[in-house]
């Protein structure tokens, strides 16, 4: 509180003095009474004169500390000494995870998941549209090669990438070298798993040494980082071939980056949404079989919805973020975007688990099974959202008939659906947790004025949000996280009754709630809006319950064909 008061006082004093917003205020004495009163009023506090006199010297001392810290702002890769633990509100979490890890089939045998009898299409261009499991089967059977698939992906990225504005950097030399190595291994009988030889893209906030890692933002467009992101290293180990670094909205917000606006392949007049803009657009347009995205608050769910892709936001702590841009240390998550649920599961299995770098990541089982008895999974649905659209839902994007049809599909697959409700707790007062952490991660942009280089300068964009976040008191940030724990306890109670619940992807407060609590979400297409863009359905699971999530979502997807539709012109 006192820290915030003094920051406010200094900024106000600086503006009154006519200096720039980045110019340091005088530090040769305590702030005057008018500055303290103005700063206190700004954040809703009221001190009497004696109290203001008492705290003035402390505020001056704190400003000296701020000056010392700002003289050595840490690199974006350095996390705070505090970390978020999604399991803290789950009674018996350790025992549950340990028991699951000991259960038979705790690790999937992906050979059992490869489809049988897959034949190479007569038209080689059709390879671009096959789902990941089919491509894996063709590679194992020798009907295609990694070099052929990689060359095709690079050609399609060159052809269609400029229209979609979805590519930042092509990794031709690296990709072709890895593809040829994958083919040599396959010829020798060494199969690394279902990603072996499959081309893919990565969101350009993942570091690859020797190549720019731009974070989609003008201030970083020439940045080359020395570390290799753990996710990329694990894709390499799995035999996947990273062919491109794909666009993201600047600093992981939206679809506008320093080179333009990434497009929805179903409607080129419309943005792809974001922030995993290029990853979703490239998969939906058949440019890569899968891609890596990230989510802090909707950045996988939203572009997958807009572009008609399938995406999996894993549990917080499932996938290491080492080598990824940090936006919010307690909310950032990395996950796959693909054409099918099965493809997402294969990718998640390859990239999950501890790496010794990201201390939030734990070893948790991922027991994907080929055949699941639907009676063994308790499935709920957010009844209110399948009855009436919420006030926040756009008319063009809401279709109760499609949503209710999705429930019928699940019932037809053998699941018994029970109505559930989200906790009656407003999560939006907690949303500034993200703003505070993002403002800390990129405070150097605010202090130096380089935030002016970001393309979007409207009120609802990072430059303004990060400036405003400088006024969030540490006390209020901690209070918000205490309320967050209560929300986590609410969800622990909800998931005591069900393993998975189904929901329209938007509407209600579930997207923000579950990003705050760390729960996994799987999003897939379930129809089209009135203007011809895809729309989506989501499945939300228990913490580290991605296996059940995959089973339920796969049953829905296997019974529908929305995911095989193709945008015209690609």
| Pairing label, strands 333-338, 290-295 | antiparallel
Q: Which residue has the tokens 């969030």?
A: 472
In angstroms, the CA 491 to CA 87 distance is 11
Omega before 275 within 30 of 0, i.e. cis = yes
As a 3-state breakdown, the chain gives helix, strand, coil percent values, each rounded to 5, of 45, 15, 40
The token duo for 551 is 């089973």
Q: Which of 14, 146, 272, 275 is catalytic?
A: 275
**Other C-beta atoms within 10 Å of 170: how many?**
18
The token duo for 349 is 């299995």
Residues 6+ apart with CB under 8 A from 23: 14
Q: Which of 146, 203, 302, 328 is catalytic?
A: 203
Tell me how long the chain is. Answer: 570
Q: Which residue has the tokens 């109505």?
A: 419
In angstroms, the CA 337 to CA 385 distance is 25
* 203 DSSP β-pair partners: 246
- Cβ(193)–Cβ(110) below 8 Å: yes
The token duo for 199 is 């081309």
Q: What is the DSSP string of 132-180?
A: HHHHHHHHHTTSS-HHHHHHHHHHHHHHHHHHHT-EEEE-HHHHHHHHH
In angstroms, the CA 264 to CA 157 distance is 15
**Which secondary structure element, helix H or strand E, spans residue 310, and what is its range?**
strand 310-313
**Which secondary structure element, helix H or strand E, spans residue 537, and what is its range?**
strand 534-541
Q: Which of 146, 272, 273, 299 is catalytic?
A: 299
Could you confirm whether 299 is annotated as catalytic? yes
- Cβ(288)–Cβ(200) below 8 Å: yes
Q: Output 454-458 pairs: Cβ under 8 A, ≥24 positions apart.
A: 454/217, 454/218, 454/219, 454/250, 454/251, 455/218, 455/250, 455/256, 455/257, 455/258, 456/250, 456/253, 456/254, 456/256
Q: Write the CA distances from 474 to 1, 5, 433, integer angstroms.
A: 6, 11, 10
In angstroms, the CA 330 to CA 484 distance is 11
In angstroms, the CA 508 to CA 393 distance is 8
* Burial track 532-543 (b if 16+ CB lie within 10 A, e otherwise): ebbbbbbbbbbb
Could you confirm whether 275 is annotated as catalytic? yes
Q: Which residues are catalytic, by number?
A: 203, 275, 299
């Amino acid at each position: 509180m006192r820290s915030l008061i003094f920051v406010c006082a200094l900024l106000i004093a600086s503006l009154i003095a006519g200096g720039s917003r980045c110019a340091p205020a005088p530090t040769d004495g305590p702030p005057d009474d008018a500055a303290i009163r103005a700063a206190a009023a700004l954040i809703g506090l009221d001190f009497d004169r004696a109290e203001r006199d008492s705290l003035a010297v402390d505020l001056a001392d704190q400003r000296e500390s701020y000056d010392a810290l700002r003289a050595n702002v840490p690199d974006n890769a350095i996390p705070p000494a505090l970390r978020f633990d999604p399991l803290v509100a789950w009674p018996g979490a350790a025992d549950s995870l340990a028991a699951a890890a000991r259960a038979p089939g705790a690790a999937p045998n992906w050979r059992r998941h490869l489809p049988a009898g897959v034949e190479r299409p007569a038209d080689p261009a059709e390879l671009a549209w096959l789902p990941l499991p089919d491509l894996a089967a063709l590679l194992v059977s020798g009907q295609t090669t990694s070099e052929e698939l990689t060359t095709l992906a690079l050609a399609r990225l060159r052809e269609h990438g400029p229209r979609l504005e979805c590519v930042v950097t092509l990794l031709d030399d690296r990709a072709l070298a890895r593809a040829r190595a994958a083919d040599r291994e396959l010829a020798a009988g060494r199969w690394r798993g279902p990603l072996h030889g499959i081309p893919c893209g990565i969101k350009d906030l993942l570091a690859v040494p020797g190549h720019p890692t731009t974070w989609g933002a003008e201030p970083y467009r020439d940045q080359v980082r020395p570390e290799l992101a753990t996710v990329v290293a694990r894709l390499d180990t799995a035999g996947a071939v990273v062919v491109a670094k794909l666009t993201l909205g600047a600093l992981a917000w939206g679809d506008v980056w320093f080179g333009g606006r990434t497009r929805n392949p179903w409607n080129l007049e419309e943005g792809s949404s974001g922030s995993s803009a290029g990853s979703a657009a490239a998969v939906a347009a058949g440019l890569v079989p899968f891609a890596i995205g990230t989510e802090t608050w909707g950045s996988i769910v939203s572009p997958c919805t807009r572009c008609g892709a399938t995406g999996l936001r894993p549990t917080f702590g499932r996938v290491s973020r080492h080598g990824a841009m940090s936006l919010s240390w307690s909310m950032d998550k990395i996950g796959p975007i693909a054409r099918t649920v099965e493809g997402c599961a294969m990718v998640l299995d390859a990239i999950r688990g501890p790496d010794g770098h990201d201390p939030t990541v734990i070893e948790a089982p991922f027991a994907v099974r080929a055949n699941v008895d639907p009676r063994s999974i308790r499935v709920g649905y957010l009844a209110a959202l399948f009855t009436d659209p919420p006030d926040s839902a756009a008319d063009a994007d809401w279709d109760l008939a499609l949503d209710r049809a999705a429930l019928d599909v699940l019932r037809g697959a053998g699941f018994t659906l029970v109505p559930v409700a989200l906790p009656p707790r407003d999560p939006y007062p907690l949303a500034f947790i993200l703003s505070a952490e993002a403002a800390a991660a990129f405070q150097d942009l605010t202090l130096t004025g380089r935030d002016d280089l970001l393309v979007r300068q409207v009120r609802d964009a990072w430059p303004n949000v990060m400036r405003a976040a400088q006024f969030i008191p540490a006390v209020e940030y901690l209070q918000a996280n205490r309320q967050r724990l209560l929300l986590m306890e609410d969800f622990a109670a909800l998931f005591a009754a069900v393993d998975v619940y189904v929901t329209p992807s938007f509407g209600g407060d579930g997207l923000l709630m579950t990003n705050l609590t760390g729960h996994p979400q799987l999003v897939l297409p379930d129809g089209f809006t009135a203007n011809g863009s895809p729309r989506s359905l989501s499945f939300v699971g228990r913490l580290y319950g991605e296996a059940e999530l995959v089973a339920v979502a796969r049953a829905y997807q296997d019974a529908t064909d929305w995911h095989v539709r193709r945008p015209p012109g690609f």
